[in-house]
Amino acid sequence: MTATSAKKSIPARRNSSSINRNNPNLFFNRELSWIQFNYRVLEEAARKDNPHLERLKFIAIAESNMQEFFMVRVAGLKQVVASSVNEVQLDGRTAEETLHEIHKEAHAMVALKYRLLEEITEALAREGIVIVQEGSELKQHEREFLQDFFNKELFRVLTPLAIDPSHPFPRILNGRLNLAVTLKRMDQKEKQRDSYAIVEVPTVFPRFLELPRDPENPESTERRFIPLEEILKLHAADLFAGTEIVSIHGFTIVRNSDLSIEEVSSDNLLSTIEEELKNRKWGEAVRMNYRKGMPENIRTFLRDRLDLMEDELYERPRYLNLSDLMEVYGNTSERSDLRDKPFIPKNPITLDKPRKIFSLIRKKDIFLHHPYDSFQTVVDFLQAAANDPRVLAIKQTLYRTSGDSPIVQSLIQAAENGKQVTALVELKARFDEERNIVWAREMERHGVHVVYGLVGLKIHAKLLQVVRKEEQEVNSYVHVATGNYNPSTAKLYTDTGIITADPEINNDVTNLFHTLTGYATVPRLSRIAVAPINMRETLTRLITREIQNAEAGKPAGMRLKMNSLVDPDMIVLLYRASRAGVNIDLSVRGICCLKPGIPDLSENIRVESIVGRFLEHSRIFYFENAGDPKIYTSSGDFMPRNLNRRVEVMMPVDDEDIKQRFIGILNAIFRDNHNARRLQQDGTYVAVKPEGNEQRFSSQRFFREETNREYQEKEKNRAVERKKIFQPLMNPEEEVPRETSLNRDIPEAQPVEPD
């Protein structure tokens, strides 16, 4: 990395009294910045150089993001407005003004999303993947198949709910797709009158049902899917026999889903959260999505019953709940021509004897850059510890993990092998509460000590420590990471991790675990920084030192990679560093409330965001430090919740080789002119493009190609070693056959696609 340094002529110290957290002109709105991030996700769906199925996937991701945003952030703003508290956002907007802007942007985003969806589904149809829109598009054999499916399976599951004085308005579940049905039926006086009913589309069947192949065209490879609600519409007459169907239109309700837990008064946090989860599906309605063409009287009826405002009603031109499109994406995995090409991560360590991993770690720290380095290394580390008779104890934090988690299974196995195993399970990990409760109970059943954290704090740190008896002493090994212990997301998120036997780091982690599980109030720390104890203070000291170095004419600069930048005090500190002449590069994937490039405030700050095949999730902090760079890796971002209300860990990187790896990552990130977008002064983002003779460069593609090169080199070396071993056993005059059992299992390196 080329050292970023102070300007040659240091500007005179300016009056900084106006640079404070109470000045709304210094900040972008948090919620509107998040919506800008979701627009960047949609841009990936719009890119013609992305394969068609990947574009469909980004539509589904954008839909899921907005769903969660309304369930949590918009719901929170509605509560603020209802409370009559005059709460002002960072940018000076009131909660009510922010809500108005959110709905304005969200309505525009819905229109864009469906325009892109139409373009993508038409492209997929040309490639033989068809999503049937209406019953009129069905072929005769498909109609027969659906009639059979409805009669034998779907009909028995459905429960139509009438709405009249004897049938109260049903409780509609959060996020579930429903059909509002208008009927004409005869009353006792033999007069026709309108009646209404609601049918919930069941979730026990696939949302997009695959239709059978055409028996008259067996050579066809076309695959056709139909939304489940369209099947219900086709056969609604069978469901409402003796009535006339006037209209059927889908709708969904988005409800407040943020848990409200009074931890101090809860004797049992596990039971409290289990009870609160039952209430999540019945929270206050914050949004209704409905299919275009819904009659005005039905729309008004639903709006009034749900106590929604007009701008909280979202008309959709096609099928709803677009996040379910992931079913189509997942069920067409054989179409590699329409997906990102496979990527094979490398495993930094290959072990013939699992216990050798401890001697390897003692010799040198192990650095992991996921998904380019396989998460299997972490799984192997834990499995080796679970089965090693010398291991005495294992301690781990679990914020989110996969459904069928090898991590949890290894912890259970370790406990059954007689080791002291402690798992700090964060029950309040939003939308993973139920899964974490299941795993917590399962681990407790097998003898794992399960701790649910601290009152008022979420445990977001990513730590795994193994304590082992070796020779005449007890040593420990710790894995410190930026990402969750989830093998599934580790294939999709970029994260970093370090496994080290460094005694000072391990002592700090041991003391932190004692604090989290016991009554110690403040752990003794010598190397790592921990939020909310001293992480903010450590970051403040590091940034202040860059300011002082710039003012003294010494090399000064920062390169900070994170997910979100919201904390006003940290933003103000970065502004002051910019005014002192410190050059600051920020890679902020999501929310950024800092305004870059403003003269006399942030002219030395550039902010970029990368959205690509992988979700950028790692946090890396680089400080120039007068030519002696300091690098830290962190589990938390520059957000009030990370610095004040969560347990986070920030660890210094001292190994020189690993330092160079981190510098290489940052160099690639800030060189990206393919997937990067640059934040402008007005809050919009503009794609970074090559300048002059500069070539297009994608950081994620660069790391994939680098991994493939290392993989090929490793396999080449393996082949050479095999030849050395087996050549003497063969006739010296004979050449080793090209196809032998010795090299047949060496896979050919996969080519890397353009992003």
Residues labelled as active-site residues: 460
Measured N-to-C along each axis, helices 568-579 and 535-551 cross at an angle, to the nearest 10 degrees, of 10
Compute the distance between CA of residue 688 and CA of residue 691 in angstroms, rounded to an integer. 9
Query: 3-state DSSP call for residue 510?
Result: helix
Sign (positive or negative) of CA dihedral 75, 80, 83, 84: negative
Alpha-carbon distance 753 to 755, whole Å? 6
What distance in Å separates the CA atoms of residue 262 and residue 265, rounded to the nearest whole number? 6
Q: Which residue has the tokens 């300091």?
A: 630
Cβ contact 635:481 at 8 Å: yes
Contacts 24+ apart (CB under 8 A), 569-573: 569/21, 569/536, 570/536, 570/539, 570/540, 570/543, 570/638, 570/643, 571/21, 571/26, 571/27, 571/638, 572/19, 572/20, 572/21, 572/26, 573/540, 573/543, 573/544
DSSP for 202-231?
A: PSSS-SEEEPPP-TT-TT---EEEEEHHHH
What residues contact residue 363 under an 8 Å CB cut-off, 6+ apart? none
Q: Which of 633, 599, 596 is nearest to 618 (CA)?
A: 633
Chain Cα centroid distance, residue 752: 24
Strands 129-131, 223-227: pairing is parallel
Q: Tokens in use for 489?
A: 């997301």
- Taking the C-alpha atoms of residue 124 and residue 691, their distance in angstroms, rounded to an integer, is 34
Q: What is the DSSP letter of 341?
A: P
* Angle between helix 376-387 and helix 356-363 axes, rounded to 10 deg: 120
CA 709, 710, 711, 717 dihedral sign is positive
Q: What is the Cα–Cα distance from 545 to 632, expressed in whole angstroms?
A: 15
Q: Describe the crossing of helices 30-46 and 52-69 by its angle, rounded to 10 degrees.
A: 160
- Between CA 20 and CA 288 the distance in angstroms is 39
Spell out the residues 6+ positions from residue 135 whose beta carbon is closer than 8 angstroms to its own. 143, 230, 233, 234
Cα Rg for the chain, rounded, in angstroms? 29
Assigned token pair, 259:
């848990």
SS3 per-residue string spanning 415-468: HHCCCEEEEEECCCCCCCHHHHHHHHHHHHHCCCEEECCCCCCEECCEEEEEEE
